[in-house]
Amino acid sequence: MTASESYPDDLKYHKEHDWARIEGDEAVLGITWFAQDALGELVHYEPPNEGDTIARDSAYGEVESVKAVSDVIAPLSGEVLEVNAKVVDEPETVNDDPYGDGWLIRIRLGDPSEADALLDVAAYKQVVAES
């Protein structure tokens, strides 16, 4: 059962269909409802390693679905603090709950000002409408 379309107001969005939930000097990252819907059922998640440094606008992992393999693009730079082991074991969790149990990684922000370049929900919905 996949989640119904939603884009929570409390998140920041990247034009490549990734989201960030910023909490102080850390952020939780994942892919949006639109991304998981376009990909279809996820069957594999290849995460970065804890301790890795990821860079904004660069790939930090891959998700594989029944349709395609896609890079996951970092909306923010930082050090990987935690990988969601549940998604590694059960990638379809992202389809069921992309903003809850389906988060991908937690990072310590390298440059908190990068968040200023991310989209709010209204701007992200415009990106979706144009996709």
pLDDT for residue 36 is more than 70: yes
What pLDDT sits at residue 3? 79
Of the listed ranges 2-16, 17-31, 78-92, the least confidently predicted one is 2-16
Percent of the chain with pLDDT over 70: 98
What pLDDT sits at residue 1? 60
Q: Which residues contact 60 (CB under 8 A, 6 or more apart)?
A: 48, 52, 54, 72, 73, 74, 80, 105
Domain positions in the chain are 27-125
Domain 27-125 has CATH 2.40.50.100: yes
Phi, psi at 99, each rounded to 5°: -105, -5
Contact 109, 78 (CB under 8 A): yes
pLDDT tens-place string over residues 44-99:
999 999 999 999 999 999 999 999 999 999 999 999 999 999 999 999 999 999 99
What pTM value is reported for the model? 0.96
Other C-beta atoms closer than 10 Å to the C-beta of 66 total 9
